[in-house]
Amino acid sequence: MTDEGLSRRRLLGVSGTAAVAGVMAGAGGAYAVSRGEDAAAAGAPSSTTSGALALDAAIPFRGEHQAGIVTPAQDRLHFVALDVVTKDREQLRQLLEDWTRAAERMTAGAEAAPGGLVGGGPNRAPEDTGEAYGLPASGLTITIGYGPSLFDDRFGLAAKRPAALQDLPAFTGDQLDPRRTGGDLCIQACANDPQVAVHAVRNLVRLGFGVVAVRWSQLGFGRTSSTSTAQATPRNMFGFKDGTNNVKAEEPESLAQHVWVADADDTGGGAWMAGGSYLVARRIRMHIEVWDRTSLQEQEDVIGRDKKEGAPLGATKEFDTLDFAKKGPDGAPSIPMTAHVRLAHESQLGGIRILRRGYNFTDGSDGVGHLDAGLFFIAYMRDPAKQFVPMQRALAKADGLNEYIEHNGSAVFACPPGLKDGEHWGQALFA
């Protein structure tokens, strides 16, 4: 392992300290649960005792925007899409309230309910499943989203549907599996400890028994983007740095322009989305074995950046500007016309950008000896029809990467704004 690799965990810790401190300072939310309440009782270490423990820190649950969007991307993901199985509007509203309480507790490092592990006594099922007992908050964020189907005629929410919340169109090359597509609701749980992320989803699903059922889910084991300049750029399953040119937390103007829904964006039924963002998820299988037999030159031409440094082809450093006019000694563009970064760049798309927050995944092998691995692409944006759709259309048409990937899952969700003290999820929706 290189020195760079060896210091990965340390880097995450150092970066995490700076980034988390920044986020905490800016969030201004109060805690209904002090992190110490259950976590300290469980013997969990304090997040403030050393720099290395920054990965353990709690990220504020409340604030202007939901955590888990622009807060520093953690290393682990458990994403779940759910369908509502009840026809009772009040049961759904109550669940969103119960989820808020449990999510706030868990993100603070506490059990899903007070005394959840054993406090209910020997004759009742525990209110917390227990596998995160004693573990620190681990940077857990829980982000909720509502799918287009939630706004059908079942719960009287049709008039509250935001205009921008539309099913995605079909794209050339899509190989979507209905069992990995859609959903009435989603929960994105990210943490620096996989057990903490899995525990969060498991306990929310448990709370929702009889009201919601899991439609599909995805685990992710390594972030594929940076959402803060304090974070090192990670690598995807093709071995390339991913997230270099992402929208970052330190760019408030870009966030306002490309990520957060503005007051004036929807003055109709979806006015409650101001301060929120739309999430697009795509499960993208990467044909690892084919890629691994591809020459370095071809790999770099497909991406448009060099593999080691992550620099744009024709430049030398990772954060150098992409020069699409530059030509190599052979007179051909240094960044090929079909390169992924050329086609996805704002200069080729009328200024469009998105905030990427995806994860690597490996779900074993496919039965014929190939890894079922890839990128669980997650992106946040102000309006999918104006951002993701034209970007993905351009990629689907000409991206050299298409030879090596396959989109087999897809969903879109409206993620409401953050909560003020005393507010709960669903309050604005059911008002």
Ligand X SMILES: C=CC1=C(C)c2cc3[nH]c(cc4nc(cc5[nH]c(cc1n2)c(C)c5CCC(=O)O)C(CCC(=O)O)=C4C)c(C)c3C=C
Cα 207 from Cα 328, distance rounded (Å) = 59
Q: Is 248 in the site for ligand X (CB under 6 A)?
A: no
Q: Which is nearer to ligand X, 405 or 412 (CB)?
A: 405
- Which residue from 58, 176, 284, 339 is in contact with ligand X, where contact means CB under 6 A? 284
Q: Which is nearer to ligand X, 128 or 306 (CB)?
A: 306
Q: Which is nearer to ligand X, 263 or 309 (CB)?
A: 309
Q: Which of 294, 301, 393 is nearest to 352 (CA)?
A: 393
Per-position b or e across 212-233, b if 16+ CB within 10 A of its CB: beebbbbbbebbbbbbbebbeb
Minimum Å gap between C-beta 407 and ligand X is: 7
Q: Tell me the chain's radius of gyration from C-alpha atoms.
A: 22
Per-position b or e across 283-311, b if 16+ CB within 10 A of its CB: bbbbbbeebeeeeeeebbbbbbbbbeebb
Q: Is 345 in the site for ligand X (CB under 6 A)?
A: yes
Check: CB of residue 370 under 8 Å from CB of residue 289.
Answer: yes
- Which residue from 12, 27, 341, 381 is in contact with ligand X, where contact means CB under 6 A? 341
Coil, strand, or helix at residue 319?
A: coil
The site that binds ligand X (CB under 6 A) totals a number of residues, namely 30
- Which residue from 242, 266, 301, 306 is in contact with ligand X, where contact means CB under 6 A? 242
Minimum Å gap between C-beta 264 and ligand X is: 25
Contact region with ligand X (CB under 6 A), list: 109-117, 173-181, 184-192, 242-250: 242-250
Residue matched to tokens 């706030």: 104
Q: Is 405 in the site for ligand X (CB under 6 A)?
A: yes
Which amino acid is present at 149?
A: S
Strand pairing class (405-415; 277-286): antiparallel
Cα 416 from Cα 94, distance rounded (Å) = 17
Check: CB of residue 147 under 8 Å from CB of residue 411.
Answer: yes
Cα 76 from Cα 219, distance rounded (Å) = 8
Q: Which is nearer to ligand X, 64 or 346 (CB)?
A: 346
Minimum Å gap between C-beta 355 and ligand X is: 9
Minimum Å gap between C-beta 392 and ligand X is: 4
Contact region with ligand X (CB under 6 A), list: 10-18, 133-141, 160-168, 239-247: 239-247
Query: What tokens appear for 205 in the block?
Result: 């699903």
- Which residue from 27, 375, 414, 429 is in contact with ligand X, where contact means CB under 6 A? 375
Q: Is 243 in the site for ligand X (CB under 6 A)?
A: yes
Q: Is 377 in the site for ligand X (CB under 6 A)?
A: yes
End-to-end CA distance of the chain: 55
- Which residue from 19, 33, 80, 286 is in contact with ligand X, where contact means CB under 6 A? 286
- Which residue from 133, 146, 240, 413 is in contact with ligand X, where contact means CB under 6 A? 240
Q: Is 17 in the site for ligand X (CB under 6 A)?
A: no
Minimum Å gap between C-beta 121 and ligand X is: 49
Alpha-carbon dihedral 17, 23, 24, 25, rounded to 10 degrees = 110
Q: Is 391 in the site for ligand X (CB under 6 A)?
A: yes
Which amino acid is present at 151?
A: F
Q: Is 392 in the site for ligand X (CB under 6 A)?
A: yes
Minimum Å gap between C-beta 16 and ligand X is: 20
Cα within 13 Å of Cα(428), Cβ side: 20
Minimum Å gap between C-beta 416 and ligand X is: 23
Q: Is 340 in the site for ligand X (CB under 6 A)?
A: yes
Q: Which of 266, 273, 241, 250 is nearest to 355 (CA)?
A: 250
Minimum Å gap between C-beta 134 and ligand X is: 36
Residues that bind ligand X (CB under 6 A): 236, 238, 240-246, 282, 284, 286, 303, 305, 322, 340-341, 344-346, 354, 374-375, 377, 388, 391-392, 395, 401, 405
